[in-house]
Structure 1
Amino acid sequence: MGAERNRHYIIMTNRPKDPGLAVTERIRAFLETHGGRVSVFADNEDISRLGLTAEEGAGTESARTEPGRTAADRTEPDGRAACMIVLGGDGTMLKAARETAAAGIPLLGVNLGTMGYLAEVEVSALDDALERLVNGDYTVEQRMMLSGSVLRGDGSRETAQIDALNDVTVTRSGPMQVIPLRIRVNGQPLASYGADGIVIATPTGSTGYNLSAGGPIVEPDASLILLTPICPHTLNTRSVVLCDRDEVMVEIGRKQSGGVQEVEISLDGTLLTRLQTGDRIRVKKSERTTSIIKLSEPGFLERLHRKMSE
């Protein structure tokens, strides 16, 4: 298949990972040479019309995205971008996933970080990856996301649902004390225990915090919900794998002293809000998915073996 010209590409760069923007410039030059239109964002700053090196951009003002808008919103008026090329690590990919889920823009990750489970393209293989991209030699995987919303114990309204690609986590806030947690699934009691927290993960997120907490690794294109306690103060609490149709409710209990317990809720590692005794968080499968571009590269198990052997 030949290259399709005049396609619109967005490049999102984690600037500390590409400080001189050399890799960013290399990608932009390749895409423009092959007839593409390119928008470039470095740490949410639109630098599409600037020279990308520090020297070329010196003294030139650039436009930041408007408050409440993201790089994914800055598409061409004739339609959505063909894809967003994300330069950084898995954290940058998670940020991009949140920004593109509503628009359905496929993501291609270039790994400038360490593990790179999501950002699969290594810089050493960049030219071949870009060639395949412009020629349409790839597939697109739809990755399951989670949707989280908070219900306050005082009866106030439930918060809007917010999506996460990797996980929703409940972790302690403040003193080093275990958190009393009560977990229900589809309204039925599942478990009550004290722990440092709990990870509610997607298959994509199984190699993240879930893995560090001792949870199972799952094929990323599966559709499951994983519950993994963080350092539970018990000998018989293990991860639980749920169907993607299940709805999880985690309620914060009281401290052993009877006082109010405070916790933090994070989505994909980003703090969402704080909860206290009596508050609950509802987590279920999101109606949205993240589109991940897959090239003709090693499969998940081969990549997993390689990462685990490093």
Structure 2
Amino acid sequence: MDVAVGIVAQRDNEHAQALAVDLVEALERDGASVVVDESTGGAIDATAVPVAAMAGRDLVVSIGGDGTLLFVAREVGSTPILGINLGEVGFLNAVAPADALGVVTGLAAELDETGAVPERELSRLRATGVDADWTLEPALNEVVVHGPRRGNGGGATIEVQADGQQYVESHADGVLVATPTGSTAYNLSEGGPLVHPAAEALVVTQMAATDSMPPLVVEPDTELVLTVSGAETGYAISDGRNRQRLELPATISVSLAAEPVRLVGPQANFFDGLDKLE
């Protein structure tokens, strides 16, 4: 079998590590080339590499919750990813642990035979400084722009323009731009709408705004420009992790990233996942 597979298991999760052992053994028995992430390689007997080094392999398997898959997606870009769900909701991870062995070996065999498997592309967001030289890592869920901190006295004045037309300008804790994938995450907690993952759209949601507007849903190729002022500093944040400090006033452009995330294998049922939301 001429297939290269990477496996990333949720850190310090014995269930994930045990499943990784079973997958490595089964795939190598079939002749596949298999590597695991460095953390998992320290716990099991398998060839280990940094997750970023798995970019370009035929398949990367993420074992854990949606957070693990978000991490994998940041590191491997458009390399096909299969999610095995050990989390609570699992909007991105469709495969149950009991089914993992059959699904992964089946996908590897299909890749070996045909060179491709069915996939679903998930859009990502790219945030860049209009008046400064920086770009955040692409966001699968959301880009957030806010003032010095959340809460009383920590906001800023944020203007949002969509394709050059002003949507809103208000003092707020922040403004969030979400993909359909991210509509069930931070966006939902801030009062934004649920968006079906098959929809082609972006969502703009204000966070604790003084003069609030309903959340705005726009076409995915809309250029969103956020101008932040009225405070000394602010932040632009990609998927809650990659952070850029802003010297205000500052202007940020948010648009679709060039490379989407590619999910392969069975797809999660969106409406079943909604039942698990708090």
TM range (shorter): 0.7 to 0.9
Question: Once the 2 structures are TM-superposed, how far is the Cα of residue 279 of structure 1 from its aligned partner?
Answer: 0.7
The residue type paired with residue 300 of structure 1 is: F
Gaps of 5+ in 1: 74-79, 255-259
Match of 2:103, SS state, is helix
Of 94, 108, 128, 1:134 maps to 108
Show the counterpart of 1:201.
Answer: 178
Of 52, 57, 71, 1:70 maps to 52
How far apart, CA to CA, are the structure 2 residues paired with 1:121 and 1:133? 12
Question: Once the 2 structures are TM-superposed, how far is the Cα of residue 161 of structure 1 from its aligned partner?
Answer: 5.8
Give yes or no for the alignment of 1:219 onto 2:213.
no
Show the counterpart of 1:281.
Answer: 252
The residue type paired with residue 192 of structure 2 is: G
How far apart, CA to CA, are the structure 1 residues paired with 2:165 and 2:186? 26
Match of 1:134, SS state, is helix
Give yes or no for the alignment of 1:166 onto 2:141.
yes
How far apart, CA to CA, are the structure 2 residues paired with 1:82 and 1:64? 15
How far apart, CA to CA, are the structure 2 residues paired with 1:88 and 1:22? 12
Cα gap change, 1:285 to 1:184, in 2 (>3 Å): same
Of 136, 152, 158, 1:176 maps to 152
Question: Is residue 136–residue 242 contact of structure 2 (8 Å, CA) maintained in 1?
Answer: no
Show the counterpart of 1:22.
Answer: 18
How far apart, CA to CA, are the structure 1 residues paired with 2:14 and 2:218? 39
Match of 2:110, SS state, is coil
Question: Once the 2 structures are TM-superposed, how far is the Cα of residue 64 of structure 1 from its aligned partner?
Answer: 6.2
Gaps of 5+ in 2: 112-116
Cα gap change, 1:71 to 1:113, in 2 (>3 Å): farther
Question: Is residue 89–residue 273 contact of structure 2 (8 Å, CA) maintained in 1?
Answer: no
Match of 2:194, SS state, is coil
Question: Is residue 142–residue 290 contact of structure 1 (8 Å, CA) maintained in 2?
Answer: yes
Q: What RMSD in Å do the two structures reach over aligned CA positions?
A: 2.6
Question: Once the 2 structures are TM-superposed, how far is the Cα of residue 40 of structure 1 from its aligned partner?
Answer: 0.6
Whichever of the two has the greater Rg, that structure is 1
Q: Counterparts in 2 of 1:1-310, with a 5 A limit?
A: 5-18=1-14, 21-43=17-39, 47=41, 52-53=43-44, 65=50, 70-73=52-55, 80-101=56-77, 104-136=78-110, 139-152=118-131, 157-160=132-135, 162-174=137-149, 176-177=152-153, 178-234=155-211, 236-254=212-230, 260-295=231-266, 299-301=269-271, 303-308=272-277
Output one character per residue of 1:176-204: Cα deviation in whole Å (capped at 9) or x when no partner. 32321111111221101122211101111
How far apart, CA to CA, are the structure 2 residues paired with 1:195 and 1:269? 18
TM-score by length of structure 1 reads 0.78
Show the counterpart of 1:76.
Answer: none
Question: Once the 2 structures are TM-superposed, how far is the Cα of residue 245 of structure 1 from its aligned partner?
Answer: 1.7
TM-score by length of structure 2 reads 0.87
How far apart, CA to CA, are the structure 2 residues paired with 1:17 and 1:201? 29
Cα gap change, 1:113 to 1:304, in 2 (>3 Å): closer
Question: Is residue 167–residue 201 contact of structure 1 (8 Å, CA) maintained in 2?
Answer: yes
How far apart, CA to CA, are the structure 1 residues paired with 2:135 and 2:120? 27
How far apart, CA to CA, are the structure 1 residues paired with 2:176 and 2:157? 14
Output one character per residue of 1:135-187: Cα deviation in whole Å (capped at 9) or x when no partner. 439520011111110134xxxx4324631111101133347323211111112
Question: Is residue 41–residue 71 contact of structure 1 (8 Å, CA) maintained in 2?
Answer: no
Question: Is residue 184–residue 194 contact of structure 2 (8 Å, CA) maintained in 1?
Answer: yes
Output one character per residue of 1:53-73: Cα deviation in whole Å (capped at 9) or x when no partner. 4xx69xxxx9764xxx82334
How far apart, CA to CA, are the structure 2 residues paired with 1:162 and 1:298? 25
Question: Is residue 145–residue 237 contact of structure 2 (8 Å, CA) maintained in 1?
Answer: yes
How far apart, CA to CA, are the structure 2 residues paired with 1:120 and 1:143? 14
How far apart, CA to CA, are the structure 2 residues paired with 1:111 and 1:171? 32
Match of 2:276, SS state, is helix
Question: Is residue 182–residue 251 contact of structure 1 (8 Å, CA) maintained in 2?
Answer: yes
Output one character per residue of 1:272-305: Cα deviation in whole Å (capped at 9) or x when no partner. 211132111110112211101132x66333x334
Sequence identity percentage = 25
Question: Is residue 149–residue 162 contact of structure 1 (8 Å, CA) maintained in 2?
Answer: no
